[in-house]
């Protein structure tokens, strides 16, 4: 028996004809890549829809929240080219429940969309294509290719330091610094700063130095795109208001953050002679154990570089409570002594997210 699901509300406008056949596996993969951009709660109803466009042998899928947009595509059999909008969450959840095989999507009158797969025959109502906001196209000039592995590492080692305070607008993203032979990224929330640089890169199209602020939301989307792609390069371009990143056949566009990023170079240590080399896994484990005994109000722990017969990095708690725990780590080199009082999540955050190979 066929199952028919209908919507009560019917727009009056009439849409253009479109009819396609697409693999369920391919469609789910591309919907998964775009659905995270769609706002669950929005005051602009059209933004809760996917824009579906069929032409040639490709189905283009677009999602946007006005601040950023993702555009991807899948191979399809196009019987009639055209375009429509479909409720994103409803379509994504429904397609995931369908069995493997081909899915037929047909645009009917008044923006109704018919979806057939096996014995399932479903109808959903969309909105007028003309109401969907214009998404900027990827520029054809001034495009820079960035190695995917290096870019993924830069994001993973800086995104944790981005500020969550919306009032500190310029700290709600990471600063990417492009040079002809290097790429760097820096982020800070005013309490901690993370700076990572990858030298020895040959970035075409870059002369001198180029700095751009990338919003946190865009970095999170890029992490997802990079994790689900085997593309060796990320193509980057920008214009006056928008940043563009192309990962394989998927394109992310994001509104630029305006404002001046703090002068991080002024607080970067110069000629530092106090350092320790330890295994990140051992340090992270020691911090987690010591943090269990930290003061409940301050949560502070202490890191000490101690110059003794056996060089060691000691981690213990700070506070007046009677509990006490201390853990020592051997390291390979240091010069002089050093003592730091920190919240345990500050030094631990980089290693929680460090899953990429140690190339930087």
Which phi and psi angles does 287 have, rounded to 5°? -65, -40
CATH number reported for the structural domain that contains residue 96 in this entry: 3.10.150.10
pLDDT at residue 309 in the model: 47
List the chain residues with pLDDT less than 50.
1-15, 309, 320-324, 330-334, 354-360
pLDDT at residue 330 in the model: 46
pLDDT at residue 99 in the model: 93
Task: Identify each DSSP E strand in 102-260 by its residue range.
Answer: 102-107, 112-117, 120-125, 144-147, 173-179, 182-188, 193-199, 209-215, 233-238, 242-247, 250-255
Q: Which of 238, 266, 294 is the last residue in one of the domains? A: 266
Which phi and psi angles does 33 have, rounded to 5°? -70, -25
Summarised one tens digit per residue, pLDDT across range 171-213 is 999 999 999 889 999 999 888 889 999 988 888 878 888 999 9
pLDDT at residue 120 in the model: 92
Q: What is the pTM of this model?
A: 0.81
- 349: helix, coil or strand? helix
Q: Are 63 and 175 in the same domain?
A: no
Q: Are 101 and 151 in the same domain?
A: no
- 319: helix, coil or strand? coil
Q: Are 32 and 98 in the same domain?
A: yes
pLDDT at residue 5 in the model: 46
Render 203-227 in DSSP notation, one character per residue: -TT--SEEEEEEEHHHHHHHHHHHH
Domain count, the chain: 3
Q: Are 124 and 170 in the same domain?
A: no
Summarised one tens digit per residue, pLDDT across range 127-158 is 999 999 999 999 988 889 999 999 999 999 99
The helix, strand and coil proportions of the chain, stated in percent and rounded to the nearest 5, come to: 25, 35, 40
pLDDT at residue 321 in the model: 44
């Amino acid at each position: 028996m066929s199952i028919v699901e209908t919507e009560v509300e019917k727009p009056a406008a009439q849409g253009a004809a479109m009819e396609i056949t697409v693999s369920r596996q391919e469609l789910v993969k591309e919907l998964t890549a775009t659905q995270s951009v769609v706002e669950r709660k929005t005051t602009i109803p059209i933004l809760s829809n996917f824009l579906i466009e069929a032409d040639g042998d490709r189905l283009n899928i677009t999602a946007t929240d006005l601040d950023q947009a993702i555009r991807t595509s899948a191979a399809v059999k196009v019987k009639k080219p055209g375009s429509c909008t479909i409720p994103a969450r409803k379509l994504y959840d429904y397609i995931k429940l369908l069995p493997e095989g081909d899915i037929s999507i047909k645009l009917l009158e008044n923006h109704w969309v018919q979806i057939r797969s096996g014995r399932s025959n479903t109808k959903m109502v969309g909105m007028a294509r003309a109401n969907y906001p214009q998404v900027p196209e990827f520029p054809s000039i001034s495009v820079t290719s960035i190695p995917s592995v290096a870019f993924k590492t830069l994001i993973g080692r800086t995104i944790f330091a981005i500020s969550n305070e919306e009032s500190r607008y310029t700290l709600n993203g990471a600063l990417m610094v492009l040079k002809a032979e290097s790429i760097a990224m820096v982020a800070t929330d005013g309490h901690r700063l993370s700076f990572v640089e990858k030298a020895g890169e040959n970035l075409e199209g870059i002369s001198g130095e180029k700095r751009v602020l990338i919003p946190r939301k865009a970095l999170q989307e890029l992490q997802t795109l990079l994790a689900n792609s085997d593309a060796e390069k990320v193509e980057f371009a920008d214009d006056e208001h928008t940043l563009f990143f192309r990962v394989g056949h998927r394109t992310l566009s994001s509104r630029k953050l305006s404002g001046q990023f703090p002068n991080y170079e002024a607080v970067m240590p110069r000629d530092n002679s106090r350092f320790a080399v330890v295994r990140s896994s051992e340090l992270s484990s020691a911090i987690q154990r010591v943090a269990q005994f930290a003061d409940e109000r301050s949560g502070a722990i202490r890191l000490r570089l101690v110059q003794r017969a056996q060089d060691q990095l000691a981690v213990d708690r700070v506070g007046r409570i009677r509990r006490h725990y201390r853990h020592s780590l051997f390291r390979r080199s240091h010069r002089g002594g050093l003592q730091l009082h920190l919240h345990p999540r500050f030094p631990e955050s980089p290693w929680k997210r460090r899953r990429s190979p140690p190339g930087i």
